[in-house]
Amino acid sequence: MTKEYEAYSEMQHEYRSFVQHNYIPLHSHLYTVNHTIFIPSFLEAIQANTSEALQQILHEEHPGIYSFDILKPAFCKQLLEEVMWFEKWCSKQQVTIQRPNSMNNYGAILDDFGFDSFLNHLMTEYLTPLSTLLFNDVGGDSLDEHHGFIVEYKMGKDVSLDFHSDDSDVTFNVCLGREFTGGTIYFNGLLCRMCQQSPYSSFSSRQGYVEITHKVGRALLHRGQHQHGANAITTGERFNLILWCRSNQYRLQDNFSECPDWCDSQHA
């Protein structure tokens, strides 16, 4: 670990500690996972936790990309209100909001203002049954670390997102609203980490291309290495909750010395 990384980690710890000791939530009940936030079909499938029950709620948009309804509109609305409240608090306190990543200029990291326990519970108790069924080849059965954030797209702000892959093993992406047109998410090519550092890194295929329309409360689940981007919104404002899920057990194994069967470079 470099001195620069140690200094950055210490700064992040101090920032998060200050925020969490001083920020007063608008909706304090949101910070604990409550089964009432989920739509009944999702909750019933997770509680049953059988392959048959889980498959019933899943729609395979494209090989390796699955969608399912999960969150009630009321929760989506209140979570957005909480994010707006946090942004106003930061402005009043003259605190700089840490943006989600190097590509999104608007939004917030949910762990910074108290959602770390919520997101960890969401990942381990509610998403792991699905990721175990679908993505145990990339650690979906042993997820133990996350990075959770809100992204915002609006005319005059970010309107689209460039083609990329995520720093995750499994990615959960759910639309929170609000009213918008355009802004579809597109996928084109699934590359392992080894091939993303090779000439295959710009690989794309017409056969591998799919475009998906966002719907409030509906989620996408896919491998983090599945390359994707977001087309521009044309009107309105779109917010998404994104959870990058990682498995340290999977990452500590020697999984990156050869190309796996699911990597599209093998079929190029």
**Predicted confidence band at 4 (pLDDT cuts at 50, 70, 90)?**
low
pLDDT of residue 1: 55
Listing DSSP states for 227-265 in one string gives: EEEEPPEEEEEEEEEEEEEE-HHHHHSS-SSS--TT-GG
pLDDT of residue 259: 80
For 44-65, how does the pLDDT look when each residue is reduced to its tens digit (9 = 90+)?
Answer: 999 999 999 999 999 999 999 9
**Predicted confidence band at 13 (pLDDT cuts at 50, 70, 90)?**
confident
pLDDT of residue 187: 94
- 150 touches 110 (CB < 8 A): yes
* Residue ranges of domains in the chain, CATH in brackets: 23-267 (2.60.120.620)
Q: Which residues contact 228 (CB under 8 A, 6 or more apart)?
A: 163, 164, 165, 185, 186, 187, 188, 222
Cα distance between residue 15 and residue 17, in whole Å: 5
For 69-87, how does the pLDDT look when each residue is reduced to its tens digit (9 = 90+)?
Answer: 999 999 999 999 999 999 9
Cross-strand partners of 89:
none
Answer with the residue of higher pLDDT: 257 or 128.
Answer: 128
- pLDDT surpassing 60 at residue 131: yes
Answer with the residue of higher pLDDT: 4 or 135.
Answer: 135
Cis-peptide into 178, omega within 30 deg: yes
- pLDDT surpassing 70 at residue 195: yes
pTM above 0.85, yes or no: yes
- pLDDT surpassing 90 at residue 28: yes
pLDDT of residue 158: 82
- pLDDT surpassing 80 at residue 3: no
